Structure 1
Amino acid sequence: MTENPDTTPAADSAALRERIAAELDRGRRRSRGLTVGVLDEDDLVAQHSPLMSPLVWDLAHVGNYEEQWLVRAAAGQEALRPDIDGLYDAFENPRAERVTLPLLRPREAEDYNAQVRRRVLDALEHASFDSGSALLDGGFVYHMVIQHEHQHDETMLSTHQLRRGEPVLGVGAPPPPPPAAPPDRDEVLIEAGPFTMGTDDDPWAYDNERGAHTVDLPAYWIDTRAVTNAAHMDFIADGGYDDRRWWSEAGWTWRMRGGKRAPAFWRLDAGQWLRRRFGRVEPVPPDEPVQHVCFHEAEAHARWAGKRLPTEAEWEKAARHDPATGTSRRFPWGTEEPAGHHANLGQRLLHPTPAGTFPGGTAPCGAQQMLGDVWEWTGSDLTGYPGFRAFPYPEYSQVFFGGDYKVLRGGSWATHPTAVRGTFRNWDHPVRRQIFCGFRLARDAGKEGR
């Protein structure tokens, strides 16, 4: 009997090579569309905020990271530019200082990235994905590099948001209309019991998503949708930013030091809330999830509402656990990779979409839009899972363990579909607001909100 050629190891490897090449190309086209494709050299080398790198640093950094992992580590080839490794080491050079470094100019960065990519594609033709190497098996190191570039693309979008000047990004595609009928409930009950958190077998998963382990949670309620701009306006109107009762000690210190009274990029004009979005000023859409709020603001809003932020485990159980089968899904909707009807991902729209826009992405529990639109703050500190093992380098996540970083889940409209899933963990300082972050609320079962 002739073996089906579509199921042979060779066919599987060919399909994986094709997928990797396509995803590498998508990432690079996106990077160029945020740098050399839209801005002149002066804008690319400038530092638009001390919170962010000059865009030209990000542009060359993704190429240098690709060279180190796909040319040197994976293919075993000699280094092209070992002399620039230090310039593009994120741990050696704080963002505020990168503008002072002798960085590659935009044209030089472009030429360097192209040279790296040629070597990568040549080596990809002969790469083995079942060699027993943890770095190569299943295409792990390629997946890591693809995600890394998309993560920097999202970072570059944050730089664009902080940049002053004329708009250079388009307005994005129009969002699909939300369903006519809202959900029949504002929150859903997650029954008590165990679920599987994390993963052992996802070829795209980072070390901090591994390994799969059982977590047993008491019953809790979680909001069907993320907190909207309208709901946060109510918090503001009720004096939420000025009422010490709702704020932690650290949150109140942050609020008083900066005099904050609204999300980043908002301002009140003649009784109407406006926002600045990529150089355009527009009314704040009431039905979109609120974004550009830090952990402290999210926590204060939650207390005001008589609720709290979900823990990271609560968020993941709501997003992944299927009580009918007792299994945890890769995505809220199942195993199908994210498509346009599932979630607002991949920079298609350049803003969040109204609550309820993507019913096709609903989780088994009934919670909506748990992937895409806005990163959602959780109440948890970043730590490793039981048996955590740093791989392939501790600087990806291990060095951030310890309580200084809060976990965010779910991705945003700016997150590429390859860089988010139900197990993916993001983290940041609790004061960060330039990222595309929002939140949803939870409460203990039996405890009422406002």
Structure 2
Amino acid sequence: MTDPAFLTDPETLRERALAALTRARDRTALLTSCVEDPDLTAQHSPLMSPLVWDLAHIGNQEEMWLLREVAGREAIRPEIDGLYDAFEHPRAERPSLPLLPPDEARRYAAEVRGRALDVLESTAFRGTRLTEAGFAFGMIAQHEQQHDETMLITHQLRKGPAALTAPDPAPAPPFTGPAEVLVPGGPFTMGTSAEPWALDNERPAHQRFVPPFFIDTTPVTNAAYQAFIADGGYTDPRWWDSDGWSHIRAHSVEAPLFWRREGGEWLRRRFGVTELVPPDEPVLHVSWYEADAYARWAGRRLPTEAEWEKAARHDPAARRSTRYPWGDADPTPEQANLGQRHLRPAPAGSYPEGASPLGVRQLIGDVWEWTASDFLPYPGFTAFPYREYSEVFFGPEHKVLRGGSFAVDAVACRGTFRNWDYPIRRQIFSGFRTARDAAPGTETS
């Protein structure tokens, strides 16, 4: 892998960390200032925290890692640590806690940020694993952006008129390319040992052999998914994992979350607006069970995590893994739909400049993509800097999602980034693409 320039230049690294932290805080401010205080303190779904909890939690984590751990400073508000410990209090019970009110939460987060920027200015990016290449600052920027995505999910679940607006993605002509792409079999480098801000579950880099397979050129669209529904996909147990079948029957699931049928047409609710389901967009708000059932109905399957990453990172001509499908450079708006620039996926087939060397499109941005794989550690995994980020979630209970969505910032999205969730989850910005085995003896690379 070609090392990014910011690996070795302290000033470029400092600028990069400042930009990432600032971008995250600007987004946090938008997500928490677009509604009145009652909406900040309310719990809009038992699946989510009140927005005001996320706001103070962001500040508390920043204080713990950048002020206390990196700079060795005394705690500003040690008495609130327990309130904002995500493992101590499940989301459903957080509204009952004595949380900081909105104005106080804003002041606390702002005070922490002011001190953190002083630490950033004076830190030498060496000496410890936390400070090497600015890891702690990158970790905190990613943490805040992950909570920003969580808060955007809360806004989608929130009842009432729209509070957020954004321009739609640029129109795209109907995609007329091949429906699937052959990914040659052979070894490739999965994960990373060089990406400075990669989190522990992305490490270390290691070799994987993947047999040849075909993968969808674009994510599965709403129109394609509607065909599954129309063919009785939700009423035929042949297509469903047994647990998934039990779940959809118990909860009367008949379509993606936020969809409803009216007058012979499919409508959806999107950030307070009801609209026709656009046929050419990637399907959104489906669970792993739904993605798996569609793939079986289509005579295909979900790609494994290793297959997805090989499709996204392997450059057959250069015989190496890149940071992104298009190479090692950070994403541009012409390559991927990221960062909440839009509040919806772009039409399938968009962003040809972001395609992989093999021609697979939209692997980064638009929708998180379910894979067939359980969330498991890589060979040689070491938890860092704390077990609760990844290690406690390893196991068959969680399925891996890859690629990021329109709600993900570039700092928390790359070819090695791993997301995970329960297979029943639908409130997340999740879609999928399908794959199938290639015949034995197909081209290798």
- Aligned partner (choices 117, 121, 125) of residue 125 of structure 1: 121
Matched, 1:149 2:144: yes
Alignment of 1:101 with 2:97, yes or no, is: yes
- For residue 180 of structure 1, report the CA deviation from its aligned partner: 6.0
Give secondary structure in 2 for the equivalent of 1:403: strand
| Letter aligned with residue 419 of structure 1 | A
The question of 1:24 aligning with 2:24 is answered: no
SS at match of 1:18: helix
- Contact 2:168 / 2:344 at 8 angstroms: preserved in 1? no
The residue type paired with residue 385 of structure 1 is Y
2:412 aligned partner, one-letter code: A
In the alignment, which of 196, 205, 223 is matched to residue 230 of structure 1? 223
In the aligned structure 2, how far is the partner of 1:208 from the partner of 1:180?
A: 37
Letter in 2 for 1:363: S
- What is the aligned residue count? 436
Per-residue deviation, residues 46-89 of structure 1 (Å, max 9, x unmatched): 00000000000000000000000000001111110110000000
Deviation at 1:363, TM superposition (A): 0.7
Q: List gaps (5 residues or longer) in structure 2.
A: 441-445
Residue of structure 1 in register with 2:435 after alignment: 442
1:339 aligned residue: 332
* 2:82 counterpart SS class: coil
Percent of residue pairs identical: 60
Q: Which amino acid aligns with 1:118?
A: G
1:378 equivalent in structure 2: 371
What letter corresponds to residue 153 of structure 1 in structure 2? D
What letter is aligned with 1:141?
A
Give 2:129's match in structure 1, choosing from 120, 126, 134.
134
Q: Which residue of 2 aligns with 1:313?
A: 306
Rounded Cα–Cα distance in structure 2 between residues aligned with 1:438 and 1:334: 24
1:173 to 167, 171, 176: 167
Query: Secondary structure of 1:405's partner?
Result: strand
1:401 equivalent in structure 2: 394
- Report the TM-score, using the length of structure 1 for normalisation: 0.95
Matched with 1:52 is 48
Q: Distance in 2 between matches of 1:72 and 1:188?
A: 49
Higher RCO structure, 1 or 2 (CA under 8 Å, sep 6+): 2
Aligned-residue offset at 1:174: 2.9
In structure 1, how many angstroms separate the alpha carbons of the residues matched to 2:184 and 2:36? 54
Moved over 6 A (4+): none
3-state SS in 2 of match to 1:423: coil
Distance in 2 of aligned mates of 1:303 and 1:394: 36
Question: How far apart are the structure 1 equivalents of 2:15 and 2:159?
Answer: 40
2:58 counterpart residue number: 62
Q: Please report the RMSD computed on the Cα atoms of aligned residues, expressed in angstroms.
A: 1.4
**1:413 maps onto 2:406 in alignment:** yes
- 1:145 is paired with a residue of what secondary structure? helix
Report how far residue 179 of structure 1 moved: 4.5
**What TM-score do you get using the length of structure 2 for normalisation?**
0.96
User: Shift of residue 23 of structure 1?
Assistant: 1.6
> Cα deviation per residue 1:288-318 (whole Å; 9 max; x = unaligned)?
0000000000000000000000000000000
Deviations 1:11-30 (A, max 9, x none): 92222222212221111110
Question: 1: distance between equivalents of 2:19 and 2:313?
Answer: 28
Say if 2:341 is the partner of 1:348.
Answer: yes
1:112 to 108, 114, 129: 108
Decide which of 388, 410, 432 is 2:425's aligned counterpart: 432
SS of equivalent to 1:214 = strand
- Per-residue CA deviation, residues 145-198 of structure 1 (Å, 9 max, x unaligned), is 00000000000011001100111111x123123256621x10011111000000
Distance 2:217 2:20 in 1: 33
Partner of 2:269: 276
Amino acid at match of 1:13: P
Aligned equivalents of 2:169 and 2:44: distance in 1? 29
Partner of 1:259: 252
SS at 1:208's partner residue?
helix
The AA in structure 2 aligned to 1:169 is L
- Displacement after TM superposition at 1:446 (Å): 3.3
